[in-house]
Chain A
Amino acid sequence: MNFKKMIMLLLLLLLIGLVGCGKETEDNDTTNLQMVYWPGPESDAMQKVVDEYNETQGKEDKVNVEMVLISRDGTFEKQATMMSSESDEVDMYFTASYILGQHAPYLEPLGDDLDFDVYLDAAIDSLEIEGEKYAIPMDASTHFMFYRTDYIERLLEDENWKRKYRELSKEILNEEIDPKHPDEWSWDDYIVASAFFTEEVNSESPTKYGTILQMKNLFLNIFLWDNILWSEGGGWFDEQGEVILDSPEAKKAMEVYNTIYEAGYTTPDSTVAEFPEAQAAFSSGNIAFLVQWGTGFDELNNEDQSPNTANKVGIAPVPGKKIHVHGQGIGINKYSDKKEESLKWMEYLTTNKANEIYAEHGGITAVPEVMENFDKNPLLAEISKHIQEYGYYEPTLLETNQILQILADELSPAWVGEVESEDALLEAKNRIESLMND
């Protein structure tokens, strides 16, 4: 091919490449908003809200919303890349209270423009840093204890079972206790019941293990462990802001996990267990109860997905009655040039109508007025009640995500006996102190 033809061909290829780089043009003064959302049940529910808005209120506001879906596992990582490049490619980001610290420098503070009072306190307050709110919650994520109603009913009625339970409690706790309804369990009850429902310990157990602990090195599993820590009266920091992870309360929280794991009341595969493994353990009928994310209930109680456990799943508060809550929602990109339009869309999202549509399609809304009057999913009323009575949230700081990672790295080896719990807690404390002083 001669030289000139080659130049022309390369220029043509370059031109074709550049054609794809143009920005979307807007039509009839309607502003298109690009909103990143989390693929999965949350985005399925949100799509219905988006569709409704675009057909109704959106026309008045002259705003059209489009969802941008990145892979579920990589949403925050990909957002991190977009945020750090100060891109205006999207107008709204998906965020959560545990990662808000990383996102806040890239989100527009919401000021007082929206009606935050419609939300559960724990859900909206957890999306605030240093007095500024950066996002509104679309989902309130929290924990429950799910248990086999058939087994617990028998435990409370059968004299032989009660006798065996008392024997085990004497061995484990050095005191005899009677079985109680799960609504009243402490962590000691949880340990004894785990033993009772483990077939190696109790040959009459209908399940292989009492429970499953989610011990994978994952920051989300720290939230489950935090329930024990908070219920013992502990936390990450004291009122003066000092790190208190080496407190007696933290040691007691570690003891609960160590006792259950080392005694074999949970599967050894707990070392790599998180949400899906816990679901599989319960729905297969191999465990009697577990502490799990609220979103797990539907699957466990569904006749097609979990025939072994459908209609036999009871809901109780997490033992110790301290329940982690975090909000998941959306904030406005600081570098977007469509902030006003984004606020209009967010105003719609604070309405009961938007949240009803969200709940109707599987979302766990954070608006108590909707949650408590939603007949199609009575679990929402339970969630609202639990959050208001027992909910707490970890401090929402710029460093929260890093603290969670430190805790996951330092505590998960201790949960499985790789290192001593006291050493792990001390190391975690030192690392967090160093991080806060940085």
Chain B
Amino acid sequence: MDMKNDRFTKLLLNLPLILFLVLLVVFPAVYALIISFYDVSLSKSTKGFQGLGNYLKIITNKSFWSSIFFSVKYTAISLFIQIILGFLIALLFNRTFPGKKILMSIMLMPIMIAPSLMGIMYRLLLNENIGVLTELFKKVGITMSLFSNEMVFPLLIVLDALQWTPFVFLILYSALQGIDKTLYEAASVDGATKWKQVINITIPSIFPIIIIVSFLRGIDAFRTFDVIYVLTSGGPGTATTTISIFLYKLGFKDGSFSLAAASSIIVIMLLMLIMPLFVKKIVRN
């Protein structure tokens, strides 16, 4: 009787979370899957069955693949830069020095700002006519347009790095605290240089954490919407249209809910090709 009550109590305590997941995750996912086979759009009152018609439309839509390609490129480059930078900064902070706590607090400030607010902030700061940063750049002789075709992609990478490198830094810094210091002592005794210690001790020790933080940041970067939408609206032209912006425009600007649902399902299926690799790596480590 006690065991039965116990099990029931556990179920009851988990009920709010289960309800939350069902209402906000399971139901929308199932509903999206259902409407992806119909023709549900804001401007049409009829909802005819389409079978795989929506999927075919999306797979043959070159804008869809452009946005996927852009998201992959953006994710790969952002991730690479943020992992390297975050790791180097974590190494720098992995010692005692005056003002470390204050500096660390300042370092972490960008991750507390909502991405859409970052977008609005940079839209003002980088405005050619009234932007503070633009004026500073002019004073040091930098007069190029940061929103030109050539510069807009590097600009977005830099802004993403400014906001999320601190997150990577925080996770890796915490991981560094868990490394046994005697390993470094032994390595020093054996004559290993600092860099050799980093390569042979530090990186292998925190490698599982690097995988996890890469996974988290990768997912985030892939689904980036706010900053890019506020700054460029996916432009110039469609040059910076991520998959999230593509889906948003399809669903809310075109009102084509079925096509947006079908696109989302295809994206999930594409991600399912690589997710198991990450999960396997994380579980194994």
Chain B contacts for A217, CB-based, 8 A: 232-238, 241
| Pairs of residues from A and B, 4 with the lowest C-beta to C-beta distance, nearest first | A413-B237, A268-B145, A271-B236, A217-B235
Chain B contacts for A102, CB-based, 8 A: 42-43, 255
Question: How far is it, in angstroms, between the C-alpha of A217 and the C-alpha of B234 when the chains are bound?
Answer: 7
The residue among B146, B148, B257 with the most chain A CB atoms within 10 A of its own CB is B148
Question: Is B147 a contact partner of A6 (Cβ separation < 8 A)?
Answer: no
Chain B contacts for A284, CB-based, 8 A: 129-130
Chain A contacts for B63, CB-based, 8 A: 409
Chain B contacts for A77, CB-based, 8 A: 252
Question: Is B129 a contact partner of A280 (Cβ separation < 8 A)?
Answer: yes
In the complex, besides A216-B232, A216-B235, A217-B235, 13 extra interface pairs with C-beta distance below 8 angstroms are: A6-B9, A77-B252, A80-B252, A102-B255, A105-B44, A269-B147, A272-B147, A401-B254, A402-B254, A412-B238, A413-B235, A417-B149, A418-B239
Taking the closest CB of chain A, its distance from the CB of B63, in whole angstroms, is: 7
Question: How far is it, in angstroms, between the C-alpha of A185 and the C-alpha of B241 when the chains are bound?
Answer: 36
Question: How far is it, in angstroms, between the C-alpha of A271 and the C-alpha of B150 when the chains are bound?
Answer: 11
Q: Which of B211-260 contact A (CB under 8 A)?
A: 231-239, 241, 249, 252-257
A277 near B: Cβ within 8 Å?
yes
A405 near B: Cβ within 8 Å?
yes
Question: Is A3 a contact partner of B5 (Cβ separation < 8 A)?
Answer: yes
Given contacts A267-B128, A284-B130, A401-B255, contact A416 B43 (CB under 8 A): no
Chain B contacts for A415, CB-based, 8 A: 237
B127 near A: Cβ within 8 Å?
yes
Chain A residues in contact with chain B, CB under 8 A?
Answer: 3, 6-7, 10, 76-77, 80, 83-84, 101-105, 215-219, 267-269, 271-272, 274, 277, 280-281, 284, 286, 398-399, 401-402, 405, 409, 412-419
A-B contact pairs, 16 of them (CB 8 A): A3-B5, A3-B9, A10-B12, A84-B42, A101-B43, A105-B42, A216-B235, A217-B237, A217-B241, A271-B237, A401-B255, A402-B255, A409-B237, A412-B235, A413-B239, A418-B236
Chain A residue at minimal CB-CB distance from B44: A105
Chain A contacts for B255, CB-based, 8 A: 80, 102, 401-402
Question: Is B236 a contact partner of A416 (Cβ separation < 8 A)?
Answer: yes
Question: How far is it, in angstroms, between the C-alpha of A401 and the C-alpha of B43 when the chains are bound?
Answer: 10
- The 0/1 profile, CB within 8 Å of A marked 1, for residues 28-56 of chain B is 00000000000010111100000000000
Given contacts A215-B236, A280-B130, A412-B235, contact A405 B254 (CB under 8 A): yes
Chain B residues in contact with chain A, CB under 8 A?
Answer: 5, 8-9, 12, 15, 40, 42-45, 63, 127-130, 145-149, 152, 231-239, 241, 249, 252-257
Question: Is A272 a contact partner of B232 (Cβ separation < 8 A)?
Answer: yes
Chain A contacts for B129, CB-based, 8 A: 277, 280-281, 284, 286
Chain A contacts for B9, CB-based, 8 A: 3, 6
Given contacts A267-B128, A271-B235, A416-B236, contact A405 B145 (CB under 8 A): no
Question: How far is it, in angstroms, between the C-alpha of A276 and the C-alpha of B255 when the chains are bound?
Answer: 26
Question: Is A412 a contact partner of B145 (Cβ separation < 8 A)?
Answer: no
Given contacts A272-B147, A272-B232, A401-B254, contact A83 B237 (CB under 8 A): no
Question: How far is it, in angstroms, between the C-alpha of A280 and the C-alpha of B263 when the chains are bound?
Answer: 38
Given contacts A3-B8, A101-B43, contact A416 B232 (CB under 8 A): no
The B contact surface, by secondary structure, is loop
Chain A contacts for B152, CB-based, 8 A: 271-272
Chain B residue at minimal CB-CB distance from A74: B252
Question: Is B235 a contact partner of A272 (Cβ separation < 8 A)?
Answer: yes
Chain A contacts for B236, CB-based, 8 A: 215, 217, 271-272, 412-413, 416, 418
Question: How far is it, in angstroms, between the C-alpha of A162 and the C-alpha of B257 when the chains are bound?
Answer: 56
Question: Is B237 a contact partner of A414 (Cβ separation < 8 A)?
Answer: yes
Chain B contacts for A10, CB-based, 8 A: 12, 15
Question: Is A416 a contact partner of B12 (Cβ separation < 8 A)?
Answer: no
Chain A residue at minimal CB-CB distance from B127: A280
Taking the closest CB of chain A, its distance from the CB of B54, in whole angstroms, is: 12
Question: How far is it, in angstroms, between the C-alpha of A222 and the C-alpha of B63 when the chains are bound?
Answer: 19
Chain B contacts for A80, CB-based, 8 A: 42, 252, 255
Question: Is B42 a contact partner of A83 (Cβ separation < 8 A)?
Answer: yes
Chain A contacts for B238, CB-based, 8 A: 217, 409, 412-413
Given contacts A217-B234, A277-B127, A280-B130, contact A416 B249 (CB under 8 A): no
Chain B contacts for A413, CB-based, 8 A: 235-239
Question: Is B43 a contact partner of A216 (Cβ separation < 8 A)?
Answer: no
Chain B contacts for A409, CB-based, 8 A: 63, 237-238, 249
Q: Which of B45, B127, B237, B252 contacts A416, CB < 8 Å?
A: B237
Chain A contacts for B232, CB-based, 8 A: 216-217, 271-272
Taking the closest CB of chain A, its distance from the CB of B73, in whole angstroms, is: 16
The residue among A218, A268, A284, A415 with the most chain B CB atoms within 10 A of its own CB is A268
Question: How far is it, in angstroms, between the C-alpha of A54 and the C-alpha of B213 when the chains are bound?
Answer: 57
Chain A contacts for B235, CB-based, 8 A: 215-217, 271-272, 412-413, 416
The residue among B8, B237, B238 with the most chain A CB atoms within 10 A of its own CB is B237
Chain B contacts for A401, CB-based, 8 A: 43, 253-255
Question: How far is it, in angstroms, between the C-alpha of A101 and the C-alpha of B253 when the chains are bound?
Answer: 12
Question: How far is it, in angstroms, between the C-alpha of A127 and the C-alpha of B12 when the chains are bound?
Answer: 54
Chain B contacts for A271, CB-based, 8 A: 147-149, 152, 232, 235-237
Chain A contacts for B149, CB-based, 8 A: 271, 416-418
Question: Is A398 a contact partner of B43 (Cβ separation < 8 A)?
Answer: yes
Given contacts A6-B9, A217-B235, contact A268 B45 (CB under 8 A): no
Question: How far is it, in angstroms, between the C-alpha of A417 and the C-alpha of B127 when the chains are bound?
Answer: 21
The residue among A102, A104, A272, A409 with the most chain B CB atoms within 10 A of its own CB is A272
Taking the closest CB of chain B, its distance from the CB of A395, in whole angstroms, is: 14
Chain B residue at minimal CB-CB distance from A272: B147
Taking the closest CB of chain A, its distance from the CB of B246, in whole angstroms, is: 10
Taking the closest CB of chain B, its distance from the CB of A233, in whole angstroms, is: 27
Question: How far is it, in angstroms, between the C-alpha of A284 and the C-alpha of B8 when the chains are bound?
Answer: 68
Question: Is B233 a contact partner of A272 (Cβ separation < 8 A)?
Answer: yes
Question: How far is it, in angstroms, between the C-alpha of A274 and the C-alpha of B256 when the chains are bound?
Answer: 25
Chain B residue at minimal CB-CB distance from A427: B62
Question: Is A412 a contact partner of B237 (Cβ separation < 8 A)?
Answer: yes
Chain B contacts for A398, CB-based, 8 A: 43-44
